[in-house]
Amino acid sequence: MMQHSGARARARAHVRGPRVASLLPACTENVISLGAAELLVAVSEDCAPLLARRPGAEPMQLPVVARGKFDAGRMSSAEIAAVHRTSSRGAALAAMYAPGSQVATACSLVKLQLCSYFHVDLEVIIRAQPEVVLTHVATDVAAEEEVREALAFVLNDPHVRIVSLDPSSTSEVFAALGRIGAAIGFEEAAAKAGVQFRRALDNLSRDCSSCFIDSRRLRRVAVVQWLDPLYLCGGWVAELMVSILGVEDTVCSPAFASQSAAWSDLVGNSQLDALLVAACGMSDVRIQQELRKISQSNRALEMLIKEARVIVFDARRLFSVPSCASLVDTASVIVDALRTEHQILHESQQSHSWARASLESVSTASKR
């Protein structure tokens, strides 16, 4: 049974804090981890599934205030990348500098710039009247404070706050949890949750120390973040590979959030122990389809698929959502996929050999 407005109002009476709009799944997961989900008054379309499967709690149904800037469901990696390059910058610039009223300019900034990844529904956000907005502000056209002033104008609330987050390293992921806790009055809960999540990572690291030793140690592992053009994961994903699994070479340094590459870069004298493919926002089935298509005209990728141990992951949440819960769950899935052979499904089709990690049995980080 969905939790509707009446139930939410009663729940809010027991959870004190500001009205919160969360436009990013990572922010929503962090709010849930803090036990503050009842403060949410609006979310993006990608956050809705998280509220529907909260562990130990009734599903919530909230107004959707932000939706994708384009329909990526039937687009290839190359097509999605092309759209991202153009994004809404042109439209936002035209709206800002064309003759018009302050209302038109403010509305355009809120709709197109309040979130880097989504378009904001003005009617919904006005009805929701959030006091705190968790997001990542697009600053290619206007500064963050300009966007905040535009939002204040649209909501008629000069005190509305924006918390703009874009963590790439493990430390930044934990810092984001703390910033959210401070913004919504849950500092103590954030401190406790941070300790629990760090303990979960430490437990995984200790568990792995006796598993990947000597000849079984993983020395060179690459993680694919995007397929066309090819990008490799750095940042917190690469950090997990080093700190949890003891990988010596992640190809893309943890110092970088991601790095462009060519498939031929992964073929050579330094053989990969494993190639993990987790294209941001894509299911494992869709990733396999794209890899097969790209490999038909890319000899290097074809060789990698035949020679390397290729593990394809469902990356609609794991690897893609930089929340503390997702960070621990991602580490758990990587460990399970690389360590436990019987948890990997081996497939063979058209001379391509795959190993696809099963994610259905993964528990949430907070339960570890």
Tens-level pLDDT at each residue, the chain (368 residues): 344 454 555 455 566 899 999 999 999 999 999 999 999 999 999 998 888 877 777 888 899 999 987 666 677 888 777 776 665 455 555 555 555 678 888 998 899 899 988 899 999 999 999 999 999 998 877 889 999 999 999 999 999 999 999 999 999 999 999 999 999 999 999 999 999 999 999 998 887 766 654 445 678 889 999 999 999 999 999 999 898 888 888 888 898 989 999 998 888 656 788 889 999 988 888 998 899 899 899 998 888 887 767 889 999 889 999 999 999 999 998 888 876 543 333 333 333 344 554 333 333 333 33
> What pLDDT shows up at residue 125?
97
Question: Distance (Å, rounded) from C-alpha 45 to C-alpha 64?
Answer: 6
> What pLDDT shows up at residue 79?
77
The conformation of residue 364, written as its DSSP 8-state character, comes to P
Question: Distance (Å, rounded) from C-alpha 108 to C-alpha 94?
Answer: 9
- Kindly tell me the burial class for residue 143, based on how many C-beta atoms sit within 10 Å of its own C-beta (0-12, 13-18, 19 or more): exposed
Backbone angles phi, psi at 18, to 5 degrees: -75, 160
Question: Which run of H or of E encompasses 20?
Answer: strand 20-22
> What pLDDT shows up at residue 350?
32
Would the CA dihedral through 280, 240, 356, 25 be positive or negative? negative
> What pLDDT shows up at residue 121?
95
Question: Distance (Å, rounded) from C-alpha 19 to C-alpha 181?
Answer: 13
Question: Distance (Å, rounded) from C-alpha 146 to C-alpha 161?
Answer: 12
Question: Distance (Å, rounded) from C-alpha 49 to C-alpha 233?
Answer: 25
Residue type, position 15, single letter: V
Count of C-beta atoms within a 10 Å radius of residue 79: 13
Residue type, position 67, single letter: R
Contact 36, 186 (CB under 8 A): yes
Contact 323, 24 (CB under 8 A): no
Q: CA of 344: how far to CAs of 25, 59, 104, 132, 304, in Å? A: 27, 31, 53, 42, 19
> What pLDDT shows up at residue 89?
52
